[in-house]
Amino acid sequence: MEVKRLRQLARDSRKSLVNFLRDMVRIPSLSGGENKVALRV
């Protein structure tokens, strides 16, 4: 894969990756009403 293509893919998935990592650190709980977040992780 070309470097330009890799950079574009990284930019495109940056927001979803940041959200995923934030959710993992926060450790959502099912009892706390965070079902959607817990299921996404």
Predicted confidence at residue 6, as pLDDT, reads: 86
**29: left (phi > 0), else alpha (psi -120 to 50), else beta?**
beta
> pTM for the complete prediction?
0.45
pLDDT at position 10 is 85
How many domains would you assign to the chain?
1
pLDDT digits (tens, 9 = 90+) for 2-41: 989 988 988 888 888 888 888 777 776 667 777 777 777 6
Question: What local confidence, expressed as pLDDT, does residue 28 receive?
Answer: 64
Structural domain boundaries, residue 24? 1-39
